[in-house]
Structure 1
Amino acid sequence: MPSLPLRAALVLMLVWPFLAQAQPALKVALFEVAPYAQKEGGALHGLYIDLVRGLGAGAGFKTEIALMPFARVPLALERSEADLTISFSTEALEGAAQALGPVALVDSVLITSLARSTRELPQLKGALVGRARGGCQDLAQRAELALRWTDISNFDSALRMLALGRLDGLCLTRDVLHHYSALASIERSRLGAEILVGQRPALLYVRRGLAPEVIAKLRVALARRSPVKAD
């Protein structure tokens, strides 16, 4: 008869595949916006998709990714419907989740209408500027500009509004600007100046209450990577 340690080892060998399969996947909530996270032809792709899958694999976890509107992401984390996300810092996210560190660096820009075309931010004082709900925090904190914010539902329609002069400006990233300008077939000559607001970090956030051992593994996986520069 096998010894007790040997029997224990044999049992572990038999049950380990089932234990590994039973390990829950990390639930990921991502803002659905091209070119960072989108679904085409039934497949998910984009910079944030690749990053979150790589971090999950590096930490030893599978990932289940759900795409959703920008304002829905903090709620999913707060309600424990998601474990993590990649996003810019917002007031709602800071309250609902814990930032572990940057995973990407992205150029944040303000594109103006032709009527308000300028490369000087002070000249846009009081301008009506579109943004994703809760976004563009770097400019939102510039109280002296007295910008009037309006939340937008999608960037292609917002760029059309900008081209028609119904917005004075639009705050977004350079990658999103290039993608949706092409998608909406808006010629660059119909838009005003592009102002580089700054280089913003896209951060890895985890929900509050996530198991400490999971967070520790994600920190290790994050530490092995340098933040990528978005094209």
Structure 2
Amino acid sequence: MDLKLFILKALEIIKGTIIGKVIVALIAGGLSLIGASPFFDKYISATLSKYLSIETSDPSAPIGMFLIIIAVSLTIWERKNQILIELKKSNPASIKETRPIIDLCHRGISVKEIEPQKIFFDIPYCSGKNANAYNVKLESAVITPWGDGLVYSSGFGDIFPDDITLSYETGKSMHYSLYPFTLDSALNSYIVVKGNYSGETASIYNVFDIFKFSKPTNNWVRALGKEDLRVRKFVQDGAKYA
């Protein structure tokens, strides 16, 4: 590779950055001072003499070499920085994982009476658009108000099998029937989903969702505030399935 191609390649690598412009300026100034530029006597000497009253008869080789040495040092330092950046990009441990979010699929929860006093529950889960969820382990329960307290109408169980992956397009449903159970009781109950899943780097995330039926909207929504805290405490206190 001749000198011209080398210089063009160097300029291609460092162009556009502040440090690159400094390097180019130092190299140009250094070359000018050691006499590599034919414009030294005609322009630089004349400018120094006219505006700064400094007389220069010959380019200063020592100063020029010093500037070039600084430019080369900056080039090496910048290249090391670029290598470190590339190594960080290629190291999975240094990449912050995008946390996948799992939630009800778009169609939502379905609860309907398929036979007299036989209620069918379908609870579909999908991952959000940002990332897939891996090794998803979910289980659900139906918790019904009873007097001043709560009881399990259906306890947790039937956890997902191994290696279930959820994407935005592909979901997985928890579905089962309760008998004897009335539709009115079902629509006044809470559906609780708990479990965990992992991201691409095996980071584990927990799930604890509580849903109730909203009569104004005619669909299942998340319980909030005191309702959420009440049901959450009931589950976390380890109440037994009634």
Whether TM exceeds 0.5 here: the answer is no
TM class by smaller structure: under 0.3
**Structure possessing the higher radius of gyration over alpha carbons:** 2
Quick one: higher RCO (CA 8 Å, sep 6+), 1 or 2? 1
TM-score, length-normalised on structure 2?
Answer: 0.27
The alignment's TM-score, normalised by the length of structure 1, stands at 0.28
